[in-house]
A and B are shown apart, each in its own frame.
Chain A
Amino acid sequence: MSAQLVTELTILVLAAFVGFEVISKVPTLLHTPLMSGTNAIHGIVIVGAIIVMGTPHPSLFMRILSFIAVVLASANVVGGFVVTDRMLEMFKKKPGDE
């Protein structure tokens, strides 16, 4: 097993614990925004899409595949954040309480 893999696995496990810790504090009221917010966060695959698109490919087919990945990932990111923001905008307290 390479040293790099061990480091990456360490990061993975720590991230899992941070994730459980942070998310267990989210109230049920906000479970839908949590779901669409995490949806937007996994749009981070856009990073991967840019990397594979930016690598020189001899074949057009690979470029087309990468292009599809870029389109899908950006729809994921932008749609996810916009819809979550739209939802959270609606959650208000009783008028006058603030």
Chain B
Amino acid sequence: MSTTTANLLYLFTIAAFILALRFLSSPRHARLGVQIGAAGMLWAVMVTLSLEEVVTGYWWMFVGMAIGSAIGVVGARKVKMTAMPQMVALFNGVGGGAASIISLVEFHTVWALNGDVGVERGISTVFSALVGSISFAGSMVAFGKLQDLISGRPITYPGQQIGNALIFFGSIALGAVAMATVSFWLLAAAILVAALFGVVFVLPIGGADMPVVISLLNAFTGLAAAATGFVLHSNVLIVSGMLVGASGTLLTTLMARAMNRSIANVLFGAFGKLDETAAAAAAGSDGGTVRSATADDVAVMLAYARRVVFVPGYGLAVAQAQHDVRNLAELLEEKGVDVKYAIHPVAGRMPGHMNVLLAEANVPYDELVEMDQINPEFPQTDVAVIVGANDVVNPAARNQPGSPIYGMPILDVDKSHNVVVIKRSMSPGFAGIDNPLFYDPKTVMLFDDAKAAMEKLIAAVKTV
């Protein structure tokens, strides 16, 4: 079929994608939305297969699609909910890589046909090739960091930012020269340099800043896809890519705002880099005495409380303790305790990470309460239980203007009557700063792995 007919038929796909995002506004219809989106995608594939310019390579296509789909299904089915940030990074990366390769091949085709690609197409080709490549390599590094293949701490060295800037502008310069001289190999080289930039760009960013990085890379892949749409003159690519670009940009801003830091600070600030002197000071500082409690003490406290709020953090994901938290909460609810979960926007390693984990553990979503809604409720809360969270409940963000996290919106757990902190040791959180909450007279510490602590608490609550 002709491109015009195809563009008409692609309108169904565009409408399906917009509806899919629209339906995500409520958990009730969200799943239907995703299914509509998937149907739209299938439709787009069928339309594309019957395009008049698609004349050969069917076997390659079907084999490729079969391999890719198999990888996708197995990966998506096997992944644990705690490993979701890595998975999202991975799928994001492969999309960017595909966009980059498509531009490279299309450049070769057009050049072989016309001997030139023209300025307009040249710009979109370079954009999609480079941004896609940055997204691919950056996502792979993010994956490595989240999977603990690479240190989650920022990796820094002298002259890093100048070096990175040189690599970045070097890839653009190579891309420009590739267009001016119409050279396939120079464009390929530009893509490789862009990939190198993707690597060095994500390396200095710490694990706790991953919600921002993943959102940003998501936006990058979207924009690369949109640019591929300009290269191929395909409206469906332009619209879909831009929808993703908009979503990623919005999430990036939201996440940075939830940490009260500028996007530039997140990307270039190497936040969470262990400062030797500060760490030593934190270790040596004597903020007061810490009260440690046994599981039995805490169990009594919980069993006789009227209202308990759980505050999950990345430690819960690491210990995979979401099911145990849910079991403890259920036990408490049977005893007539009112239980809720307080979710900080940047708790975990990606936007909404904690919601997914707790949903997996069958926590009804109306018990998952956002920061702004739960904060006024802490003064009426008997016990706040912090499970593997630290910086997001650090009162220093509210009352110590000198603190690196000062100004970051936090969960006001210190306003509840009692605070229980479940933590393996006194080591500081990701930001590497001391938490005055631990020295609060209202606070007791339960030193244990989140999962082990939950199991002990369940056993103890049963005997109360």
Contact = CB atoms under 8 A, between A and B. Distances in A.
Main secondary structure, interface of A, reads: helix
B112 A58 contact: yes
B41 A40 contact: yes
B95 A87 contact: no
Given A12-B226, A23-B21, A31-B352, A70 B65 contact: yes
Interface string A19-53: 11011111111111111111111111111111111
Given A32-B350, A88-B27, A81 B41 contact: yes
Contacts, number: 384
Given A4-B233, A43-B41, A83 B105 contact: no
B246 A23 contact: yes
B333 to A, nearest CB: 10
Interface string B3-35: 000000000010001101110111110110111
**Interface-central residue, A22, A26, A28, A44, by most chain B CB under 10 Å:** A44
Interface residues of A, number: 83
A87 B359 contact: yes
Contacts of A37: 20-21, 24, 33-34, 37
B25 A78 contact: no
Contacts of A48: 98-99, 102, 106, 225, 228-229, 231-232, 234, 237
B119 to A, nearest CB: 9
Nearest to B234: A47
Contacts of B244: 19, 38-39, 41-42
Given A48-B99, A52-B109, A54-B55, A90 B356 contact: yes
Contacts of B232: 47-48, 51
A28 B352 contact: yes
Contacts of A83: 75-76, 79, 84, 87-88, 91
Given A29-B343, A94-B366, 8 more contacts: A34-B352, A35-B352, A49-B64, A55-B54, A75-B69, A75-B91, A80-B91, A84-B34
Nearest 5 pairs between A and B by C-beta? A19-B246, A74-B68, A54-B54, A79-B72, A31-B352
Interface of A: 1-2, 4-5, 8, 11-12, 15-16, 18-20, 22-58, 62-63, 65-95, 97
16 contacts: A20-B246, A28-B352, A32-B84, A36-B91, A41-B20, A41-B41, A47-B236, A53-B61, A73-B68, A78-B73, A79-B73, A79-B87, A83-B75, A83-B87, A87-B359, A93-B365
